[in-house]
Chain A
Amino acid sequence: MSTFPGPVMVASGCGGTGRELAAYADLVGLDLVTRSITLDPRSGGPSPRIVETPSGLVNAIGLQNPGLEHFLATELPWLVRAGVRVFVSIAGSSMGEYADLARRLSRAPGVAGLEINIGAPDQVGEDLFDVREPYHAASVVAAVRREFPGDLPVLAKLRPDLSRIVEGARGVTDAGATAVVIGNAVPAAMPDGRPGGLSGPAIGPIALRCVAAVTAELPDVAVIGGGGISSVDDARRFLDLGARAVQIGTALLHDPTTVARVRAALTREEDAP
């Protein structure tokens, strides 16, 4: 069995703890990227955390999560028992934290892989290790790869920034990433000026352009694409450009059945003669 995820994954931060999806999707074999987990719990930012813009949402969640300890004790075992393929998104305020997270998750039963959050829209404001330079992103990936067994995928999630994406994808792949995930929220501001990230159909074409650039220039790099996908046609656009899998995020907030729908449609296509 391939350990590579896909063709459809739940994007980080849009699947709750995972168990809320049980009402809307078959959890068995579902590729879920968790919301980003940090070493210590984070209570997140103030309200409002999400505002609507035309065809998009701007969010400033502030990485709310229960911390690694609680995640390992309660959330992960539940998801594994339910048959979910759990890709743990990790975020750290230092290189050492990324390495710590990877080391401890390497010993956690049932983890299907890691996704390194190195493209958050507000890396500095959220007290994350500053990886705006591709060199730093590659260093984080190398540190994580050293601590996490080689046969499970390590995905590196990059911001869809056309001016840096090819260089970034090359760097993290050389450092040991199994695949690059292109399609994080785009840096934006909340109406009151707080830093946030824009996601949804509004950023779809931006992510698509970044995916196209990477698959064209780095044909050997495995790409997972996402950004504004809410239908099987949207997903197909990314796959047709060479993405090996897609992630669905914001659409789930609008229609929690989106992942099940797109997954079923793509699987039917695969099965067709």
Chain B
Amino acid sequence: MAEAPRPGQGPLHVTGEVLATKKAGAYRHLTITAPGIPQRFRAGNFVAVDAGEGRLARRALWIHRVKESGAFGPTLDVVVDATGPGTTWLADRPVGARLAITGPLGRPFALPREPVACVLVGVAHGAAPLFPLAERLRERGCAVNLVVAAPDEAHLLSALEARRSARAVTVITGDGSVGVRGAVPSQIAEILERADADVVYAVGPRDVLRAVAGAAEARGAWSQVALETPMPCGTGLCQGCPVPVIAEDGASRMVRGCVDGPVFRGDRLDWEALG
């Protein structure tokens, strides 16, 4: 259950401004001022943003990066995958456009106390939150192996930058346009073996997350998976993003993807009920 935020923590609801917009493959990267939000950010957090006049549901976007932008103070980078009218509206926001933003939202990735071997798996735009995670893990002395996967090159997120964030990078595409041809589920066991992984982090479609969680469990590694569930509000108010989890007592119950997640322990998700 979500705890009430202490002062200086918890989400803020602010008006941001688009400072830069850049097309990268199939995606649009937006750099946004969001006063106060970057300072509270932890890897795995997301923001909820408006998606245009008359659209009441909000769009949840991973925070891809927090960076210093001189006069504007710290800013946020988000990755927009324009798949519908709301995300298309967002992707089309010009420089200078104002945007209502709520964040940082959600439980972030848990970081290991020890400098262990980590594998990070991100599919398509789901790789976005893994870059800041990789930085945190490297600061802690963890060996970071990053796997970025996508159906094709256009949907592969920042593979070049990935090489700066991780010790080893594996690129997998469905059509083989870059890296290894294939999909994560059939290769994850071998990747974990090769990295001698103690902890696995993954963001992407459910079948990939399930395969990653299963492979982690098979070798006694911890897994943390981030679900990309549609979140109508993102703030825990609407109960529109149910996620079935298995509690300590073995019973399955519904929690909210936005405030109880989006990051879950892979062994706690009720994969059967999740579908």
Q: Which residues of B contact A21 (CB under 8 A)?
A: 237
In chain A between 1 and 53, which residues have their CB closer than 8 angstroms to a CB of chain B? Answer: 13-17, 19-24, 35, 41, 43-44, 47-52
Q: In chain B, what residue has the closest Cβ to A21?
A: B237
Are B233 and A253 closer than 8 Å at their CB atoms? yes
Q: How far is the CB of A180 from chain B (nearest CB, A)?
A: 25
Cα(A59)–Cα(B238), bound, Å: 9
Q: In chain B, what residue has the closest Cβ to A43?
A: B254
Are B254 and A50 closer than 8 Å at their CB atoms? no
Q: Which residues of A contact B102 (CB under 8 A)?
A: 256
In chain B between 224 and 263, which residues have their CB closer than 8 angstroms to a CB of chain A? Answer: 229-230, 232-233, 235-242, 253-254, 256, 259
Are A254 and B237 closer than 8 Å at their CB atoms? no
Cα(A252)–Cα(B239), bound, Å: 13
- Asked whether B190 is an interface residue with its Cβ less than 8 Å from the other chain, the reply is no
Are A254 and B239 closer than 8 Å at their CB atoms? no
Are A59 and B57 closer than 8 Å at their CB atoms? no
Q: Which residues of B contact A43 (CB under 8 A)?
A: 242, 253-254
Q: Which residues of B contact A239 (CB under 8 A)?
A: none
- Asked whether B50 is an interface residue with its Cβ less than 8 Å from the other chain, the reply is yes
Cα(A74)–Cα(B12), bound, Å: 25
Q: Which residues of B contact A22 (CB under 8 A)?
A: 4-5, 10
- Asked whether B64 is an interface residue with its Cβ less than 8 Å from the other chain, the reply is no
- Asked whether A64 is an interface residue with its Cβ less than 8 Å from the other chain, the reply is yes
Q: Which residues of B contact A57 (CB under 8 A)?
A: 56-57, 232
Give the interface SS of chain B, mostly helix, strand, loop or mixed. Answer: loop
Q: Which residues of A contact B56 (CB under 8 A)?
A: 52, 55-57, 200-201, 250, 253-254
Per-position binary interface string of chain B over residues 75-91, scored 1 when its CB falls under 8 Å from any chain A CB and 0 otherwise? 00000000000100000
Q: In chain B, what residue has the closest Cβ to A48?
A: B230
Q: Which residues of B contact A266 (CB under 8 A)?
A: none
Q: Which residues of B contact A250 (CB under 8 A)?
A: 56
Q: Which residues of A contact B113 (CB under 8 A)?
A: none
Are A23 and B239 closer than 8 Å at their CB atoms? no
Partner of B237, one of A41, A47, A253: A253
- Asked whether B70 is an interface residue with its Cβ less than 8 Å from the other chain, the reply is no
Q: Which residues of B contact A52 (CB under 8 A)?
A: 55-57, 86, 232
Cα(A223)–Cα(B254), bound, Å: 35
Cα(A254)–Cα(B86), bound, Å: 13
Q: How far is the CB of B264 from chain A (nearest CB, A)?
A: 16
- Choose among B58, B100, B233, B237 the residue with the greatest number of A CB atoms under 10 Å from its CB: B237
- Asked whether A188 is an interface residue with its Cβ less than 8 Å from the other chain, the reply is no
Cα(A16)–Cα(B5), bound, Å: 15
Are B5 and A23 closer than 8 Å at their CB atoms? yes
Q: In chain A, what residue has the closest Cβ to B12?
A: A23
- Choose among A14, A16, A51, A54 the residue with the greatest number of B CB atoms under 10 Å from its CB: A16
Residue ranges of A at the interface with B (Cβ–Cβ < 8 Å) = 13-17, 19-24, 35, 41, 43-44, 47-52, 54-57, 59, 61, 64, 74, 82, 200-201, 250, 252-257
The 10 closest A-B pairs by CB, nearest first: A50-B240, A253-B233, A20-B236, A22-B4, A50-B232, A16-B237, A16-B236, A23-B10, A52-B57, A49-B240
